Structure 1
Amino acid sequence: EEVYHKHLDAEIVINTSPVGMYPKNDAAPIDLRLFHCCEAVLDVVYNPITTKLCYTAKQLGLIHANGLEMLIAQAKYAVEHFLHQKIDDQIIETIYQKLLRDKINIVLIGMPSAGKTTIGRLLAKQMQKPFVDMDERIVAQAGKSIPQIFAEHGERGFRAYETQIAMQLAKQENSVIACGGGIVKYDVNMEMLGQNSIVIYLERDPANLSSNDPTRPLSSSKEAVEKMYRERLPLYLQYSDITVKNAEEPAVVAENCVQQIDAYIAKR
């Protein structure tokens, strides 16, 4: 109450509380959207990698950092103090990037039939991470096929299952996750998945997308796919950290993903 009453003009916000730490990933200490003068956010929480507070900062275009690098630096300085030895500061960045690559999820978004599952399996193998197909998880949890879910509960019912799975997967680390094409339709899905992830938009020419697949209820015709593409493209671009075009052999596309992931981590 004091913060909202007296400090909405803050230019820098630093969270030193455990609010937003795993397993309560969906919590934030403040509503950052009310701080119209804010320019930068530091959250000392390091699990998840991007807390809800930092995710909001990212969406608002603010400078933001989490607590993982601070945790590593803290350990480095403690070793120096207790063992009476000097360690080059570069080790902080080296360990940070290694931990980030090991811990981070890779989330693939894009249109139905864009190749998310095929590329995802190859990417998981290359990065030595487990692979998760969200649609398979939804089928397993619902106990029925996706066409059955749509027939019995409509798209709204399917999206409810999707959000449940997204919230479960958001709390795990070190996986490659292939999402359904409509995952971006609900901000809560991307907010949760984005907390421990680098999000890749797998782009594919609309002319090469499937338009008559009985397992994909919303891809009933070429016109339906083109309309869906126009509606979802801004969302894919909004929620992705990296865009990779799927226009080559799957192994080449997967390698392109790895290279862009490494480049993204190096700049993070």
Structure 2
Amino acid sequence: MIYGLIGEKLGHSYSREIHQELGMKSYELYELEPGQVEDFVKRPAVSGLNVTIPYKQTVMPFCDTLSESAKTIGCVNTLVRDGAGKLHGYNTDYDGFIYMLRRAGIDPRGRKVLILGTGGTSLTARAAIRDLGAGEIVIASRRAGKEETEGDGDGGCIVRFASYQDLAALHGDSEIIVNTTPVGMYPNAPDSLISLADFPDCQGVADVIYNPRLTGLLHQAAEKGVPYTDGLPMLVAQAKAAEELFTGRPIADEELERIIGTLRNARENIVIVGMPGSGKTSVGMAAAKKLGREFVDIDRVVEEREGRAIPEIFREDGEAVFRAMEAAVIAEQGKRTGIVIATGGGAVLSEANYLPLKQNGRIFQITRSLDQLSTDGRPLSDRNTLKEMYEQRRSCYRRFADEIIENDAAVEEAALRLIAAFQGTRE
């Protein structure tokens, strides 16, 4: 029996891990070219499949029956073969999308909702939002011409179509924004199709992307204090619904939060900032070893790539050149998941470094009293300037850090504090 996920590019999919957590140990990923889809789906050995981009509509003609939600939405993300060999198509993304919104406290009822994108996930979002009682839905597309009115949907919900260039001018009063496009997805973070500054009435943002955790769009929502959600809760909830169809057995709703927490814990980075000599590297290395994670020291990566020590880079090229090198490495490493990252003491001086570090991580400031800070091999540190440097950077550390960890005793003790804080901060 074959169970798994079919799609075109699945290198960063979480589906195998989710279904294994749900009890399906034989679940696999199958990357298929367009010409391979029909033959694969029609294999008698296929018992159950999830379907992702770009085949959610491709598989519909191969189904013997379609669920009402699949018919209404116009796409399928779950296939189940029964004992008679018949193939049935379902849309469990619908269930997952509603769970994601409710979990984040985002309620479309009576509100104007802007959906970015027109693909299969957009169709699902549109149906779910309509059924949740939205007052008006605007679908944004790169190919849309002038604004059109599709007509009254169920419950009197007006559905309109608009081009991206018209959004701010014509639909700046949108109250909930949903991104169903791949814009902002790894490795192209933190790209975003829109600026929330153009939507002053926004009261909620949902992005179906789950890698990175904090897309450019969600970062804007977080900065504005607007409720937001990434796509991981949707992914897990739709997988639970699909698994129930595969096996015919109910799964407790409590499993959803357990699996979301497990995935968050495994993939979220631990990011360490702090003054030079505060113990970022030693504490980070100790924590990484205990957790079985890779440790990345941003300063060391710069040195290895340049073939020079940092004091030499400062002396020969100046601080500005070093900061540009540092920023490039941070942008690269911040896209990774499940690692421990220690930054240089001055990385917080550039606001541009915040989102690359935050997108997949929780940021911790390691602190130590100034008279205990090491100054050896640090081009900007000496005993006479440390206090001045700290005063200059204090607000920057506060801006970046989610939590403070004191390193006032043994390194092992600080590492344990860091791990405890990290593992205790699930959402």
Query: TM-score, length-normalised on structure 1?
Result: 0.94
**Residues 193-232 of structure 1 mapped to structure 2, 5 A cutoff:** 193-210=357-374, 212-213=375-376, 215-219=377-381, 221-232=382-393
Which entry has the higher C-alpha Rg, 1 or 2? 2
**Residues 23-34 of structure 1 mapped to structure 2, 5 A cutoff:** 23-34=187-198
Quote the offset at 1:106 in angstroms: 0.6
Quote the offset at 1:50 in angstroms: 1.2
Picking from 223, 226, 237, the partner of 2:398 is: 237
Partner of 2:179: 15
Q: Does 1:255 align with 2:416?
A: yes
Quote the offset at 1:9 in angstroms: 2.5
* 1-structure distance, mates of 2:176, 2:247: 35
3-state SS, counterpart of residue 384 of structure 2: helix
Letter in 2 for 1:171: K
Quote the offset at 1:70 in angstroms: 1.0
* 2-structure distance, mates of 1:126, 1:7: 50
Quote the offset at 1:61 in angstroms: 2.3
* 1-structure distance, mates of 2:196, 2:407: 36
Quote the offset at 1:33 in angstroms: 2.9
Picking from 222, 227, 231, the partner of 1:58 is: 222
Q: Does 1:75 align with 2:75?
A: no
On the 8 A contact 1:132/1:176 being kept in 2, the answer is yes
Quote the offset at 1:81 in angstroms: 2.4
Deviates more, 1:64-73 or 1:28-37: 28-37
Quote the offset at 1:43 in angstroms: 0.9
Query: Please, which runs of 5 or more residues in structure 1 have no aligned partner?
Result: none
Q: CA RMSD in A?
A: 1.3
Q: Does 1:35 align with 2:199?
A: yes
Quote the offset at 1:56 in angstroms: 2.2
Letter in 1 for 2:414: V
Quote the offset at 1:3 in angstroms: 1.6
Letter in 2 for 1:251: E
Quote the offset at 1:35 in angstroms: 2.3
Deviates more, 1:129-138 or 1:235-244: 235-244
* 2-structure distance, mates of 1:139, 1:90: 47
Quote the offset at 1:146 in angstroms: 0.4
Q: Does 1:145 align with 2:309?
A: yes
Partner of 2:339: 175
Higher helix share: 1
On the 8 A contact 1:32/1:57 being kept in 2, the answer is yes
* 1-structure distance, mates of 2:250, 2:166: 43
3-state SS, counterpart of residue 230 of structure 1: helix
Quote the offset at 1:166 in angstroms: 0.7
* 2-structure distance, mates of 1:12, 1:247: 46
* 2-structure distance, mates of 1:246, 1:42: 38
Quote the offset at 1:238 in angstroms: 1.0
Deviates more, 1:152-161 or 1:183-192: 183-192
Quote the offset at 1:109 in angstroms: 0.4
Higher relative contact order (CA 8 A, sep 6+): 1
* 1-structure distance, mates of 2:199, 2:345: 33
* 2-structure distance, mates of 1:185, 1:83: 53
Letter in 2 for 1:217: P
3-state SS, counterpart of residue 80 of structure 1: helix
Instruction: Report the identity percentage.
Output: 37
Quote the offset at 1:153 in angstroms: 1.2
On the 8 A contact 1:142/1:161 being kept in 2, the answer is no
Quote the offset at 1:194 in angstroms: 1.1
Partner of 2:161: none
Quote the offset at 1:175 in angstroms: 0.6
3-state SS, counterpart of residue 207 of structure 1: helix
Higher strand share: 2
